[in-house]
Structure 1
Amino acid sequence: MDPLNPPLVEDVAWLPMDDPSAAGGARRAAEKLAEQLGFPGPRAAEVGLAVTEIGTNVLRHGGGGAVLLRAVHSDRAGALEIVAVDTGPGMSDVPTSSRDGHSTTGTLGVGLGAIGRLADTLDIGSRPGRGTVLVARFRPERGEPPPGPYAAGITRALSGEQLCGDAYALREDGDRLWMLLCDGAGHGPLAAAAAREAVRAFTEPERAPAGPVAALTTIHGAMSGTRGGAVAVAVLEPDAGLVRFAGVGNVAGAVVSGSTKRSMISVGGIAGYRVPATLRAYDYPLAADGVVVLHSDGVRPRWRAEDLAPLPRRNPVVLAAALLVDEGVRQDDASVVVARPRAGAP
């Protein structure tokens, strides 16, 4: 794996859990994806069993929701990740609800013990009265699980579209972590193509940028000839205790620490068409417990720091999915990418 680029995570399919047959459909889709990723037959069957439990619990105890299938690509054996979301009553005590045999009406409790044994990693974030997010990762062969990620993102296409016009990417440079989020103009294949160009330019190893403005300038050139889009680049520099940010267009960035949310400045323009000649980066304080959030305009910016408070030290996928569920707009592509300083990784 290129040390500058974390594994590529592909959001393969959002599957609604809205009727009793939905869990079976999710199981079949998950087993098929596991086979495509090279999982042995018995391991693919274990994935299917876990997804059946997850989907059934979302429907029965969460009142419905969705399951997202994700493929994790790296030079090593790929992995399959399941993200399950609901807007049900949530759980006030996740550890108790995860015990075998525990079942309380209105919780996700049934089967969590079995899911935890089948998955390589399992993380659950639940907010009483606001729903639950579950993230389970499976590798082809069981073994010592890798450390949890300290940066992750999630995307969801506009209802009715197969391709999402939003995309994100991450890259590492020593202790610095780079984040990119691109909202391709419009929707569908052309928007997705524009966003892919942004990701390609951002992740090319030979194009290690000096800073966010240099990165945006490179991305702007690469997106020429596409529909263009809104782009944000952030660099976490934990040694300096700051995050550097530059954004063009209707993308949002914020730094969250405790009960404080500080929005970051994005200027007008369209990457690939026109960007301000005076484009500049802005520096913001980044505490050791801070979280950096970027999202497209498919996620309403009204969320508060308190919305993340019940999910301390959770996998960044849990945080990103919770924001997407809370504030995502179904009439638009939506994306969220979340990172924390490496020293604060879960």
Structure 2
Amino acid sequence: MRLFKEKLAWAAPIAVILIIALFSVNLFAQGNPQVKNLPAALIINDEGEHVETVKAAVEQMSKGVDGAQPMLAFTTEKEEDIEDLFNDKKYYAALVIPEGYNDSLQNVMTNNIPATLKIYINQGFNYTGANFAKTALNGLITQLSGQYSANFIQNMNGQQIDATKASVLVSPIVPEEQIFNPITASTANGSAPTLMAVPAWVGALIGGFILFLTTSSILKRELFTRKQTLRLMGEQVLFGVIVALFSGFTVATLGQLAEINMPSYLLVASFVSFAAFCFFLLVSAITAWIGKPAITLFMVVMLLGMGVLMTPQEMLPSFFVNFIRPWVPLRFASEGLREIFYFGSGFYTGGSFNTILGIGIVGLIIFVLSIFKPVKVPVQKED
């Protein structure tokens, strides 16, 4: 029973609990996601009694059921603005009441042509979120169509139905879908940007930590002046460029071998390399100040981040949205690649690019400032 008396041995079960809890924390994000308040646009291009019915149905849907938050949160927009709004990722979808809808529904039984409500789907924003929004809007149209169908059948008073009118009588309103920023084939159902961004973080983490251990070993063997240390740090940054290029072009090459439908091999490789280098600077900065514990910190960040990368923030618990999602650097690489894959972006991807660049600049500054960190000078032993 000697081992049971050792305090360090009791650290093993405690460490297991902490590690399992860390790996399992994403169960809170993925275990039972609740779809709520997905942003959707309402575009009204007509007027009349039947248009008001649609607006009333949308208003009712926006209230939710039994006090729960609604699946969709509608905002009225103009059709000429919707493409820009989709590109800015303001909405997952839009319900459009087209011009002539009121007259079309008014005369549906005379013309034997169903009225049409349009659904615009911003697929590239987030595949999961866009699909939920599409399903909800189709459900709304089906509900409206069923109400009108019941009214038409009731008004017929048992009259015989012409075969040409039967389909219109059953479905007097039909949806017409149009996809914006489509998720292209062979991109893992929209997951390719995230799957290709993860190696950028992992490469930066491993490369940065190995170079930290290497430089630490050099500094232990030799007593450097600050100028010499600065030169060594410059070499470390240069090595970081090499690591980043290896990361980016390896990811792009493997993506090509996996037949991922990339918009441009060179563009993807360059962006991943850029993100990996900026992440490398961040990793180098933190490890320069706190040493080996930094590797644990960055692993925690990555593990916590994996649960929020592919899930719309509207489906995440508020804790993840407010305290985890904003602090996951990997998210910005994923969003940048999403811009490249589905929104026709070039190397500069807007906000995501700016954030990654900011991470790199801040990381570089903190890294350089570590030259002023107090260094413990080893005591020489006397013979």
| TM-score, normalised via structure 2 length | 0.23
| TM-score, normalised via structure 1 length | 0.24
Higher relative contact order (CA 8 A, sep 6+): 2
More strand by percentage: 1
More helix by percentage: 2
Larger Rg: 2
